[in-house]
Structure 1
Amino acid sequence: MSNHQISFTDTSLTDGQSAVWAGAMDNRMLLAPANALSSSGLAAVEVLSPAVLDECLARNEHPLQRVELASRRYGSVPLRATVNLLTEHGCPGADVLGPTALDGWLTALAAAGLQQVVLLDPLLDLVRLKAALESATTAGLTGIAALPYTADDGVPDDTYAERAASLVAAGAARVMLRDESGVLTPDRAHTLLPALAEALGDTPLDLHTRCHTALGTVVALEAGRLGVRGIDTALPSVANGPSLPSLPSLIRVLRHDEHYQDLPVLDALLSADAILAEIADQEGFPAATPWPFDLAAYVHQLPGAVAADVHRALRERGRWADLHQFAAECAVVRREMGSPPMVAPFARAIAEQAMCHFDGEQRYESLRPVLRRLLQGVYGTVTGDLRKDLQARVGSILSSEIVSPMLGSGIGTDEDVLLAWVAGVPVAGVPRRDDEVTPYEPLTPYESLTRGLLERAGRYATLTVRAPGIHIHLQQEG
């Protein structure tokens, strides 16, 4: 190719903030960078993911309203969501999003303003994926099929290429190599990506990689030369480390290469990032920092936010020096569970199980619900061998087509029932949609000081602050 036509999707509002801010971005914050991002020339902005869906519910926000708000504020830029066909809430009957539930959910997302959907089946069940892609097409969505990547499975490039071709045969409009653990190396990319691009032919190849090993930016820079036509990125405030490569950093390099054309507008991206940085400063959110290269990532292979949570947990326990010991235990648990891909729903459950053992619990004294369901065969067939004693302990389930008690009996709207099914919550617990949501506006230093004083004023009879140009006096009466 004489010119490299490559597009970029921003995932700052989903995976970026989940990995760096622990999912703290509410709907007001989502709207704040809308004007800048919508004018930046992005191919899409991702606004919803399985993690964000759970984060919304935890804040009593309706996930569909999040999409609706973005649709009104982000103008003509396409909106994207990621939907995992396998859930991690472990509720019987809702472990797998079947055609009926998925049809309704994708229709609801499209009605809210979504244009693209990444469909992820970690076990690559082509029957499920074909039905899901058909549902996406029926709903008017561009269906992007995810191809999970792991570093230690011994799978050669041609097998990955065959899997990619099978996704196109199943109806994928695009195929995304999804490296959520950030373990794709430049060397492997130089053989794997061209093999995938050749197998896909005219179907575009996308890349989603992370920066756990500090190699994500290098891989992303090479990707356009190797046949990738779309790359997931994030803004600097929520990039790097367990997150995705920083798009401004990529553009600064790529714009010096005459083969790359129509790159996103750097000034608009920096304006959007300045807004996120101001929010982070106001709310005390952690700063995005690169992670140094460490071989532990290739052992535990934990994805973004899960890896960030584990790093935080080890530091809180005063056991950061034992990261490699934990990584080894994580790898053992994964192997004993049949070596499923380290993505949701399996990755967090494996990490939590490993942490229980790491903290001194007798091995498998307790068992995470997702792993129990995996052993029972509810999700499907894994490539490796499962521990027979654990399988015998939990028994088997012949079918996951069980009526879920969480749905209740017609309570709420149809969309609320669908959301309850997808998220594994009671219908009665689905939040109401707010009448109006205004964009987040950071406070001025004076406003921030005043708010802090008012929050503390109840503890004192008199509270006075004096500084050059400032005199605040608060006094309780009576």
Structure 2
Amino acid sequence: MAEIGLIDVSMRDGNQSLWGATGLGTHHMLQIAGALDRVGFRAIDFTSSSHMAVAVRYFRDNPWERIRRARAAMPRTPLQFITTGLRFIAWQQADPDFMRLVYRRLQACGIRRFIMLDPMHDIDAVLDASRIIKQEGDAEVMAALTFTLSDVHDDAFYSAFARRLAQSRDIDLFYLKDPSGLMSPDRARTLTRAVKSEIGSKPLEMHIHCTIGYGALSSLEGAEQGASAVHVGIGPAGEGTSLPEAVRMVANLRAKGHTVAVDDAMLSHVNDYWWRLARAEGLPPGEPQSFDASFLQHQIAGGVMTTMERQLTELKLAHRLPEVIAETEQVRRDLGQPIMVTPFPQMVCTQALFNVVGGRRYGQVSDQVMRYVMGKFGRPTRPVDPKVEAAILDRPRARELEREDDFPTLSDLRRRFGATMPEEEFLLRAVMPGDQVDAMLGAGRGRTGYSPEMAPVLALLKKLAERPAARDLVVERPGFRLALHAGSGLD
């Protein structure tokens, strides 16, 4: 049997799928990075432009510095960046010269592998962005075949897409990406064979979420049919709406007769760290999922489902989640069945939320949905429902967006922000609110160390610091004493 590699998704996709991308800060990641580098993973799914924005917005962490420090701590394992091509943080498609600078800086900071995902499966768009990446460095480029269920997206569709891309020297390998976990083992068997027959010697990897219980079984079937690697999450960052859990996947692959060249002791060490962190920070672990046929209809990906549940809870409307899910199915049909992968799940689910909470379907419509209906994100799989299209576009805001300028050119942005601004700061300011970037820069390098065991103590100290009456405080445990006295600092 073959040797099967593993790609760890815990820091990026696991974090996003289970914890809304806000579970892990730089200090959490760096504490375990050295050990993670010694496990033997083919790559670490490390970040994306959206993930970089979360680092700035929620943690005040510098995302460029995060990549550099992670690369220094993990010199042997390639860090992976997933991208939708010519887009960086903002919804709009960016100027190619702007994206050239983005890809140059990412590679300079330490990204060694890019996933090129175009949600419309636009071959020219994939090739254009891949060419820029190759011109700006020596990173690998992996083309995504993004799975969905429809009468259009059959095995022939994906194999034809792969065949065209495989002819390009800018595409090094492929992966079957199933963000909603819809791919059954039977479909994994036929689809893996079909794609493998078209891509020649270029490797194929399996990335299948566990949302409805298919993830591990379909990943194993892909390995049986010639896939070279499987994407996994470690410990609490696996299962649930994330990817198959790493320790169990290693055992299952070996039981099938495959070789998995990882350091089991080091994997166990990393697994233990993530579990201790999850308990200390109150992060819910992924749990094995029972089959749920409703996902075959609404096709909501794990990270989007987690975010939607959190939004409804904040609005005190958690009880209306079933209504929103049902409306998501209808909105997706209305909009021509877009594949539920970034940025389309966010558009579809947000519109479903508006339709349910607002009381009138399409009474409120986001700018992103209007741009989608106008064709600014590409051509939908099927035409938008004519009545829905008319309802969305027949409003003043839609007419304003029709006249909006394209994404500014790189030279225009340089004139706006100044030619001497450092490139990394400039790239963030061009697409993010200035006050968020200011706060990040003001925070400096942030925390440099982390211990799960200290997390409850630090949380307690933070709460007590908010109470002026608590002037003197002593925390003791065997071998440890911390004393805080008002006006005198730490003992």
Q: TM-score, normalised by structure 2?
A: 0.86
8 Å CA contact 1:182–1:212 kept in 2: the answer is yes
Residue aligned with 2:417, SS: coil
1:459 aligns with 2:469: yes
Q: More displaced, 362-371 or 445-454?
A: 445-454
- Asked whether the equivalents of residues 150 and 341 of structure 1 are also in contact (C-alpha less than 8 Å), the reply is yes
- Aligned twin of 1:125: 122
Please report the RMSD computed on the Cα atoms of aligned residues, expressed in angstroms. 3.2
- Name the aligned partner's letter for residue 227 of structure 2: V
Task: Provide the secondary structure at the position in 2 that maps to 1:177.
Answer: strand
Residue 85 of structure 1 deviates from its aligned partner by 2.4
- Residue of structure 1 in register with 2:84 after alignment: 84
| Alignment map for 1:23-422 (pairs within 5 Å) | 23-58=22-57, 59-85=59-85, 87=87, 95-138=92-135, 139-170=137-168, 171-258=170-257, 260-313=258-311, 323-386=321-384, 387-389=388-390, 390-393=392-395, 394-395=398-399, 396=402, 400=406, 402-403=408-409, 408-410=416-418, 412-421=421-430
Q: Deviations over 1:351-397 (max 9, x none)?
A: 11101112243212221121121122212211211243024542446
Percent of residue pairs bearing the same amino acid type? 24
Amino acid at match of 1:438: T
Distance 1:297 1:449, change over 3 A: closer
Question: Does the CA contact (< 8 Å) of 1:45 and 1:80 recur in 2?
Answer: yes
Quote the offset at 1:416 in angstroms. Answer: 2.5
SS across alignment from 1:359: helix
Residue pair 2:12, 2:46 contacting (<8 A) in 1 also: yes
Displacement, 1:196? Answer: 0.9
Change (3 A) 1:398 1:337: farther
Aligned residue in 1 for 2:451: 441
Q: CA deviation at 1:169?
A: 2.7
Label 1:454 to 1:136 Cα distance change in 2 as closer, same or farther (>3 A).
same
SS for the counterpart of 2:45 is strand
Matched residue SS, 2:111 = coil
How far apart, in 2, do the equivalents of 1:366 and 1:51 lie? 25
In the alignment, structure 1 segments of 5+ residues that lack a partner are none
Aligned equivalents of 2:237 and 2:204: distance in 1? 24
Shift in Å, 1:143: 0.8
TM-superposed CA distance for 1:314, in Å, is 5.0
2:49, 2:88 within 8 Å by CA — same for their partners in 1? no
1:207 alignment partner, SS class: strand
Counterparts of 1:472 and 1:44 in 2: how far apart (Å)?
40
Measure how far apart 1:42 and its partner are: 0.5
Q: Would the alpha carbon gap of residues 467 and 147 (structure 1) be closer, same or farther in structure 2, given more than 3 Å must change?
A: closer
Cα distance in 1 for partners of 2:8, 2:126 equals 24
After the TM superposition, which of the residue ranges 69-78 and 438-447 deviates more from structure 2? 438-447
- Deviation, 1:303, is 1.7
Question: What letter corresponds to residue 465 of structure 2 in structure 1?
Answer: E
Query: Contact 1:204–1:229 (CA<8 Å) still a contact in 2?
Result: yes
Change beyond 3 A, Cα 1:420–1:175? farther
Contact residue 196 and residue 226 of structure 2 kept, 8 A: yes
Mind listing any 5+ residue stretches in structure 2 that lack a counterpart? Answer: none
Deviations 1:326-367 (A, max 9, x none): 222112212222222111111112111101112243212221
1:429 corresponds to which of 430, 437, 456:
437
1:39 is displaced (CA, Å) by 0.9
- 1:100 to 1:317, Cα distance in 2 relative to 1, 3 A: closer
Deviation string, structure 1 residues 92-123 (Cα, Å, up to 9, x no partner)? xxx11342122211111111111111111111
The one-letter code sitting in structure 2 at the alignment partner of 1:230 is: A
Structure 1 distance, partners of 2:435, 2:475, is 49
In 1, the alpha carbon distance for the partners of 2:306 and 2:106 equals 29
Q: Closer, same or farther in 2 for the Cα pair 1:331/1:462, shift >3 Å?
A: same
Instruction: For 2:176 and 2:97, locate their aligned partners in 1 and report how far apart those are by CA, in whole Å.
Output: 27
Name the CA shift for 1:163/1:471 in 2 (closer, same or farther; >3 Å). Answer: closer
> Which amino acid letter does the alignment assign opposite residue 417 of structure 2?
S
Give the direction of change, closer, same or farther, for the CA distance of 1:459–1:338 in structure 2 (3 Å limit). farther
1:217–1:245 Cα contact (<8 Å) kept: yes
Q: d(CA) in 2 for partners of 1:470 and 1:6?
A: 45
Take 1:40 and 1:89, find their aligned partners in 2: how far apart are those partners? 31
Instruction: Answer whether contact 2:79 2:111 (CA < 8 A) is retained.
Output: yes
| 1:404-449: CA deviation from partner (whole Å, max 9, x where unpaired) | 987633262123223344x444498364384576242234599558
- Equivalent residues of 2:156, 2:194 under 8 A apart: yes
TM-score under structure 1 normalisation?
A: 0.88
Q: Aligned residue for 1:12? A: 10
The answer to whether the Cα contact below 8 Å between 2:464 and 2:470 also exists between their aligned partners in 1 is no
Residue 277 (structure 1) shift: 1.9
Partner secondary structure for residue 373 of structure 1:
helix
Letter of the 2:271 partner, please give it.
Answer: D
The alignment partner of 1:61 has SS state of: coil
Contact 1:251–1:263 (CA<8 Å) still a contact in 2?
no
Once the two structures are TM-superposed, the CA of residue 27 in structure 1 deviates from its matched residue by 0.7
CA deviation vs aligned residue, 1:242-281 (integer Å, no higher than 9, x gap)? 11111111011222333x1243222211211211222222
Moved more, 151-160 or 245-254: 151-160
- C-alpha distance in 1, partners of 2:485/2:424? 50
Per the TM alignment, residue 317 of structure 1 is displaced from its structure 2 partner at its CA by 6.6
1:295-328 residue CA offsets vs partner (Å, 9 max, x unmatched): 2222221222111122344566776675543222
Check the 8 A contact 1:167/1:175 in 2, yes or no.
Answer: no
Distance in 1, Cα, partners of 2:281 & 2:13? 19
Which amino acid counterpart does residue 409 of structure 1 have in structure 2?
F
* CA distance in 2 between partners of 1:370 and 1:385 (Å): 17
**For the Cα contact (< 8 Å) 2:88–2:94, is it kept in 1?**
no
**Which residue identity does 2:52 align to in structure 1?**
L
Which is further off, 123-132 or 392-401?
392-401
Q: What amino acid maps onto 1:388 in structure 2?
A: E
Contact 1:90 1:373 in 2 (8 A): no
